[in-house]
Amino acid sequence: MSNYKLIDKETYYRKGVYRHFTEDCKCSVSMTARIDVTDLAAFSKSNGTKFYINFLYLLCKVLNSREDYRMQYFWQTDELVCFDKINPAQYVFHEDTETCTPVYTEYFEDYKKFYENAAADLEKAKNTREYLLDSVNHPNWFDASYISWLSYDSMNIELPDGYLYFLPIINWGKYREENGRLMMPVTVRMNHAIADGYLVANIYRLLEKEIAAFINS
């Protein structure tokens, strides 16, 4: 079971915003933007590593960097919580059945440990065709889905507003060359109660920062 702390909704720094978007106007925020992954793609190729796993690692690092991205609402007890860590629920696509299998991978700040585990999890999932989601035993897993067939311009994830699902939902597509650089679309969906335009946009800024640090290290 994941570890988390309870957030006091009376002292929560977004108290007014939280109340408004959980009572008056239940809605989410979804944004798509392109990020420059030229250097990350070159790094992955030169080191013989998978670009996909490298990006997933950096995405996890960003989302674990501040509490706002690790929040969840327990509707059964009306509790707002912040997880100590959130992990990616990634997907394997099966060409023969044209279906996906969810893959639960634990995030570790240690890059080598995360990379090896993520690669092993993906290989294991290739042997099944079942859609096995288990949110009860994986409450702190966020959705991370790669749309490998398209370099899209926009995307919107719809959830019932009354459900108050707070964990991030992240999608990204194929990168494409633009003015000599490789640009990749990334879509971020978060509930408006715990994230606004600044916090969503900040994910892109942090991704660019972490990519540069990763390459330079």
The string of DSSP codes covering 95-125 is: TTTTEEEEEE----SSHHHHHHHHHHHHHHH
What's the average model confidence in pLDDT over 19-28?
Answer: 93
The CATH H-level superfamily of 4-216 is Chloramphenicol acetyltransferase-like domain (3.30.559.10)
Residue 1 has pLDDT above 70, yes or no: no
Q: Which two tokens stand for residue 12?
A: 């929560």
Among 4-8, 27-31, 88-92, 130-134, whose mean pLDDT is lowest? 130-134
Among 52-56, 122-126, 171-175, 201-205, whose mean pLDDT is lowest? 122-126
Note the pLDDT tens digit of each residue in 136-169. 889 999 999 999 999 999 999 888 766 799 999 9
What pLDDT sits at residue 122? Answer: 95
Residue 42 has pLDDT above 80, yes or no: yes
Residue 111 has pLDDT above 80, yes or no: yes
Of all residues in the chain, the percent with pLDDT exceeding 70 is 98
C-alpha 61/C-alpha 48 separation (Å) is 21
DSSP class of residue 162 equals: G
Q: Which two tokens stand for residue 60?
A: 């996890």
| Residue 156 CB contacts under 8 Å (≥ 6 apart), including other chains | 30, 189
What pLDDT sits at residue 120? Answer: 97
Residue 134 has pLDDT above 90, yes or no: no
- Nearest-5° angle of CA 65, CA 71, CA 77? 155
Of all residues in the chain, the percent with pLDDT exceeding 90 is 89
User: Is residue 77 helix, strand or coil?
Assistant: coil
More confident residue, 132 or 39: 39
What pLDDT sits at residue 83? Answer: 98
Residue 14 has pLDDT above 90, yes or no: yes
What pLDDT sits at residue 162? Answer: 66
Ranges of each domain in the chain: 4-216
Residue 188's Cα: distance from chain center in Å? Answer: 7
Residue 99 has pLDDT above 80, yes or no: yes
Note the pLDDT tens digit of each residue in 177-217. 999 999 999 999 999 999 999 999 999 999 999 999 999 98
